[in-house]
Amino acid sequence: EPEVTQTPSHQVTQMGQEVILRCVPISNHLYFYWYRQILGQKVEFLVSFYNNEISEKSEIFDDQFSVERPDGSNFTLKIRSTKLEDSAMYFCASSTRQGVWQPQHFGDGTRLSIL
């Protein structure tokens, strides 16, 4: 079964540094998402992306965050100047729509630790 892949599995970064989290969605999927889970808290929606633009974003997704699909396969989340509270597990997901919405498939996640 095709999978969503995320790299790296663990990223450690100094506060204030930029970080890029990478995702390769399932190849025939057209909708892409980022979620995060702060330790001990719920999985929270960050952003959805379709047709090379953001289709929806949460209030968490402020100006420090950006997403990009730089080529036909990768989907990236950039945090421009990381803060301690950005430490979390970040999940990428993808889905398609075939008349009705199809379930989102998730990657293994990237654990981001901000020091």
Interface ranges with another protein (CB under 8 A): 3-4, 31, 33, 35, 41-45, 48, 55-56, 58, 91, 93, 95, 100-101, 103-109
Nearer to another protein, 44 or 66 (CB): 44
Nearer to another protein, 55 or 81 (CB): 55
Give the integer Cα–Cα distance in Å for 62 and 3: 28
Tell me if 87 sits within 8 A of 11, measured CB to CB.
Answer: no
Nearer to another protein, 79 or 109 (CB): 109
> Which amino acid makes up residue 82?
T
